[in-house]
Structure 1
Amino acid sequence: MGRLVSILAPIGIIILVGVGGSVVLNMIKPEPEKADEPRAGLNVFAEPVRRGDLELSVSAQGEVRPRREIVVAPQITGRVSYVSPDFIDGGFIKKGQLLVRVEAADYELAVIRARSGVASAEQRLAREIAEAELAVQDIQDLGLDDASPLARREPQLAEARASLEGAKAQLKDAELALNRTAVYAPFDGRVRERSVDIGQVAAAGSALGRIFANDVVEVSLPLDDNEMGRLGLPLAFAATADKPGPKVIFEATVAGEPRQWTGEVVRTAAAVNSMTRQINVIAELKDPYGAGADGDAPMAPGLFVNATIEGETIPDVLIAPRGALRGEDQLFIGDAEKGKLSIRTVDLIYSDTDGAYVRSGIDEGELAIVSPVQAPFDGMSITVMERLEDGTVKVYDPEDRTDTETGNASETSIAVTGAEGTPQ
């Protein structure tokens, strides 16, 4: 018995000391600091909704072409004796300027022959008039009352007068052919191409070159029905002084530099294209080589341009960032005070790269979410972040709010150096 006690006594002492030490250590150890719970919800960037005016516009593309362009051709046949030094590819020409002249010798001789024929016809008419007067006098002297028209020489007199008119017509025709030996420019413009030179025989109606007027150029812009409605243009539109067409901004790169010209819509095409179901809107630019040019860059024919047609202005609409638009008519709004996602269906007017324009469904100052959100649902927990102009990010933290009187979420600004739109 004594031997058993001697064995169990040390074991009991060890157990008692261990348990007591453990109790004492638990009593004197410091309380562990509790870490703040991580913020719940998805971090998303948002931008405030603002008010402004919506300027409706439509973009299109087209090729510049002159409003007037003709083929230069002679009306008579002959050898070319003169070509204007300005009648060359790219040359500037003036209205009434002599471009080409055909040898006129044959046509001058024809005028001389025609004048001779007129003189002969005039002499014959004078003789017939005299003979008719003598015939009438003889009839009166004989006291005849039933003399025939032939006896009075009336048919002969009518024939002489007709011959004179025919001779005069031949003279006019010869003079007209002589005048047509010279080809003049019908308008101010430029030469697109020339296909004739001195010594070449030109046939009547053969092409000598092409010229176009430089007073006005046109661009045909294809638009669909929705775009026509956005501009408020009817299918049979024609601009007038009382109702001018919409303003058009043309843009193109010329000689490596971006250029811009300002014109206007003047009319629509007569019919809808059966293949594309679009209608062409014709826009004009006046004086493309002068006042209408962008500095030293004219809007030359053949140039391919981008056009922006300005439509009507709708005042006082709500403007959300374009990235906040989901589907056709939904916006994700972040409730910064509650840290919740709100899915709104809005009355969308129009959207472009500058924003989504809305009549109703949101309020000015609300935060529209631009970050991607997977599997969203109304009331989803989020943390709203707004990027400021100075590059810092304002974080709206509803869980740290302590001011119960104002009811506003607390705000923390932090510097963000990561990629745009990615929380750091």
Structure 2
Amino acid sequence: MPFAGKVTETTAEVGQMLTRNQPFGQAFAFDALEAVTPVAQDELARLEPVVGRGATVRAPGVELEATVERVSAELDARTRFAKLYLALPQDAGIAPGTFVDVTVEGPLVEDTFVLPEATEQAGGHVWRVVDSRLQRQDLSVLGRSSEGLVVRAFDPGEGVVIGAAPGGREGLSVRVAGPGGTGTRAST
């Protein structure tokens, strides 16, 4: 091979005569190894500019740093997702075709909260407690992460209700059940 790489498939046998332009195997160059991951349009918009961003790539037994090298020119016709192509180091230790988990570093966004997913009520709002009463707080959701909802900061009052609050309504009298506003229960 005229490059440093690895043979992944071959149909040639030892001693077999090969002719020019006859395919007899498949190989990949170590310096051409990349990871490809889909990304939703709204996530892509939040990551802009995405090219050059750092990322972490995880495969069984391997975790390494990578860089977003380019973005697909068009969206996938079926999923409407774009594709991110990440350059991997030559010594990545990942074979082509391996499924990987990718985390791309996003921009630092100030004046935000990360709320547990369970705080979001049907309709895309949260209940906060102000003067021992429920008050609806509409959310400006900036994104979602493994830790929860990333939302624009707001005054949390005495706390935010975690979990569904069926029958919850503006002004309903509540009592904070845990220290530091870790939960609420409606009064009876």
- Per the normalisation by structure 2, the TM-score is 0.81
Partner of 2:59: 252
For residues 174-223 of structure 1, the C-alpha deviation after alignment (integer angstroms, 9 at most, x for no partner) is xxxxxxxxxxx211111213333344232222234322211341122222
Structure 2, gaps ≥5 residues long: none
More helix as a share of residues: 1
In 2: Cα distance, 1:304 partner to 1:394 partner: 38
Structure number with bigger Rg: 1
How has the CA–CA distance of structure 1 residues 332 and 193 changed in structure 2, closer, same or farther, with 3 Å as cutoff? same
Secondary structure of residue in 1 paired with 2:45: helix
Cα distance, 1:387 vs structure 2:
5.4
Q: Whole-Å Cα distance in 1 between the matches of residues 133 and 171 of structure 2?
A: 5
Does residue 343 of the first structure (1) align with residue 136 of the second (2)?
A: yes
CA contact (8 A) 1:251 1:306 kept: yes
User: Greater strand percent: which structure?
Assistant: 2
* Contact 1:321 1:368 survives alignment (8 Å): no
Q: Quick check: 1:216–1:286 contact (8 Å CA) kept in 2?
A: no
Q: 1:251 to 1:366 in 2, by over 3 A?
A: farther
1:275–1:371 distance in 2 versus 1, CA, 3 Å:
closer
Q: What is the 5 A alignment of 1:193-212?
A: 193-212=9-28
Deviation at 1:253, TM superposition (A): 2.2
Seen in structure 2, the aligned counterparts of structure 1 residues 208 and 320 have a Cα distance that, compared at 3 Å, is: closer
- Counterpart contact for 1:196–1:209, Cα < 8 Å: yes
Residues 56-94 of structure 1, C-alpha deviations (whole Å, 9 max, x = no match): xxxxxxxxxxxxxxxxxxxxxxxxxxxxxxxxxxxxxxx
Q: Offset of 1:369 from its aligned partner?
A: 0.8
Give the AA of the match of 2:136.
I
Contact 1:247 1:263 in 2 (8 A): yes
Are residues 1:187 and 2:26 paired?
no
SS in 1 for 2:13: coil
Q: What is the CA–CA distance in structure 1 between the aligned matches of 2:41 and 2:65, rounded to whole Å?
A: 24
Q: CA RMSD in A?
A: 2.8
**CA apart distance, 1:305:** 0.7
Contact persistence 1:331–1:343 (CA under 8 A): yes
Alignment correspondent of 1:316: 111
Alpha carbons 2:161, 2:183 under 8 Å: kept: no
Task: Say whether the 8 Å CA contact 1:249–1:309 is kept in structure 2.
Answer: yes
Equivalent pair of 1:269/1:280 in contact (CA under 8 Å): yes
Query: Counterpart of 2:112 in structure 1: which amino acid?
Result: V
Residues 1:203 and 1:265: Cα distance change in structure 2 (over 3 Å): same
What is the deviation of 1:385?
1.3
Would you say 1:326 and 2:118 are equivalent positions? no
SS at match of 2:110: strand
Instruction: Work out the CA distance in 2 between the residues paired with 1:394 and 1:272.
Output: 42
> Which of the numbers 150, 160, 163 marks the counterpart of 1:357?
150
Which amino acid is the alignment partner of residue 247 of structure 1?
G
In 1, the alpha carbon distance for the partners of 2:98 and 2:140 equals: 40
Q: Is structure 2 residue 170 aligned with structure 1 residue 378? A: yes
User: Cα–Cα, structure 1 residues 191 and 277, in superposed 2: closer, same or farther, change >3 Å?
Assistant: same
How many residues of Structure 1 are paired with residues of Structure 2 in the alignment?
A: 184
Residues 348 and 209 (structure 1 numbering): CA distance in 2 closer, same or farther, change over 3 Å? closer
Identity %: 24
Counterpart mapping for 1:2-401 below 5 A: 185-233=1-49, 239=51, 245-254=52-61, 259-287=62-90, 289=91, 293=92, 298-327=93-122, 329-335=124-130, 338-360=131-153, 362-363=154-155, 366-386=158-178
Secondary structure of the corresponding residue to residue 227 of structure 1: helix
Task: Give the SS at the match of 1:229.
Answer: helix
CA distance in 2, matches of 1:308, 1:209: 33
Q: What amino acid is the match of 1:226?
A: D
Q: Distance in 2 between matches of 1:394 and 1:318?
A: 15
Q: What is the rounded CA distance, in whole Å, between the counterparts of 2:15 and 2:122 in structure 1?
A: 71
- Which structure's relative contact order is higher, taking Cα pairs within 8 Å and 6+ residues apart? 1
Alignment gaps of 5+ in structure 1: 1-184, 240-244, 397-424
